[in-house]
Amino acid sequence: MAEPALGALPDGVHGAELDRRIAEATEAIGARLSAEPPLGAPRLVIVLGSGLGGVVELLDPEPRLRLPYGDIPYVPAASVAGHAGELVAGTVRGIPTVVLSGRVHSYEGHSHREATLLLRAVLALGVETVVLTNAAGGLDPDYDPGDVMLMTDHINLSGDNPLTGPNLDRFGVRFPPLTDAYDSGLRAGALEAAARTRVSLRQGVYIMLAGPSYETRAEMRMLRLLGGDAVGMSTAHEVIVARHADRRVIGFSLITNKATEDVAAGANHEEVIEMGRLGAERLVTLLGDFLPRLA
Ligand code: HPA
């Protein structure tokens, strides 16, 4: 069947062309990974949010392979400070793993389809488990900067969805369910890891907005009323493509700032990066216990 004219989707690539680009990216990454046999068939992908580059140190020292996003066809370069923009492949105590250090966001001018192209390219290598991380503002008044939150669910208020356009049948169905998108078994494992490592772990609902401006006080009040515990500008679109492809998903938010209506001053990017570093240590500790048990 001919693809419909996509007048409502002027923002770039979709359907067969999107599929072709994902396949080309998969092939380019796969060719590099298979040059290092233990890395050839990754089972785990970890996406890093702002300031979370330290997670790369959880990879075993050898072998490691670094692939700048610019070297992967059709992958937009990440341009925001705090986002390195490279794929790092390695093993976590023997589990072949791909770390996406830096992500592109829709506020950089990309549709969700383009912003998730790289993740889909990696999923197509056979990855089973997707670990997502982000920096977020705390809507729950009890949250403090430096807290780590296990995502129990999300609300996508970004105004976009990566599955718009013709369905890519090789990944999944047209109308994927998102109930229980955040894997309960993985979450139980993360809570156990938190207890073992004595890292305090919040649990809550993440709201994705488009950004890039931070929220007004009225928006913070609204987001809390809607049931959000944390707010950020990423992740939900990645959960959607991962669940579309029926992969197991877990997500962690690093609370970098308060996002409550009575906050003294709003967030700024420097604070987000700085508190990201602080809280990242906790998250790295927790993941250091959690990830090897995924074997
Ligand atoms: N709002 C939206 N995105 C964010 C925030 C915030 O307060 N902090 C970090 N990312």
pLDDT digits (tens, 9 = 90+) for 43-72: 999 999 877 888 888 998 887 899 999 899
Q: Is the CB of 98 under 6 A from ligand 1?
A: no
Q: Given a cut of 60, is residue 4 above it in pLDDT? A: no
Q: Is the CB of 223 under 6 A from ligand 1?
A: no
Q: Given a cut of 80, is residue 209 above it in pLDDT? A: yes
Q: What is the pLDDT of residue 71?
A: 92
Lowest model confidence (mean pLDDT) among 133-142, 177-186, 234-243, 274-283? 274-283
Q: Given a cut of 80, is residue 290 above it in pLDDT? A: yes
Q: What is the pLDDT of residue 10?
A: 53
Identify whether 168 is part of a domain: no
Identify whether 4 is part of a domain: no
Kindly report the average pLDDT of the chain as a whole number: 90
Task: Tell me, in angstroms, the distance from the centre of ligand 1 to residue 21's CA.
Answer: 31
Report the percentage of the chain scoring pLDDT > 70: 93
Q: What is the pLDDT of residue 224?
A: 98
Nearest to 89 by CA among 132, 50, 129, 32: 32
Which protein residue's CA is at the shortest distance from atom 7 of ligand 1?
137
Calculate mean pLDDT across residues 221-235.
Answer: 97
Q: What is the pLDDT of residue 185?
A: 97
Identify whether 253 is part of a domain: yes
Q: What is the pLDDT of residue 66?
A: 92
Confidence of residue 1 (pLDDT cuts 50, 70, 90): very low
Confidence of residue 277 (pLDDT cuts 50, 70, 90): confident
Assessment of whether the complete model's pTM goes beyond 0.85: yes
- State the catalytic residues: 50, 83, 105, 107-108, 135, 233-234, 257, 269
Identify whether 25 is part of a domain: yes
Q: What is the pLDDT of residue 182?
A: 98
Task: Tell me, in angstroms, the distance from the centre of ligand 1 to residue 234's CA.
Answer: 10
Q: Is the CB of 232 under 6 A from ligand 1?
A: yes
Identify whether 228 is part of a domain: yes
Domain range for residue 151?
A: 15-162+177-294
Q: Given a cut of 90, is residue 36 above it in pLDDT? A: no
Task: Tell me, in angstroms, the distance from the centre of ligand 1 to residue 173's CA.
Answer: 32
Identify whether 1 is part of a domain: no
Q: What is the pLDDT of residue 84?
A: 54
Identify whether 5 is part of a domain: no
Which protein residue's CA is at the shortest distance from atom 9 of ligand 1?
136
Which protein residue's CA is at the shortest distance from atom 3 of ligand 1?
232
Q: What is the pLDDT of residue 284?
A: 92
CATH code, domain carrying 55: 3.40.50.1580
Calculate mean pLDDT across residues 250-258.
Answer: 95
Domain count for the chain, please give it: 1
Atom of ligand 1 nearest to the CA of 259: 7
Q: Is the CB of 135 under 6 A from ligand 1?
A: yes
Q: Given a cut of 60, is residue 8 above it in pLDDT? A: no
Identify whether 94 is part of a domain: yes
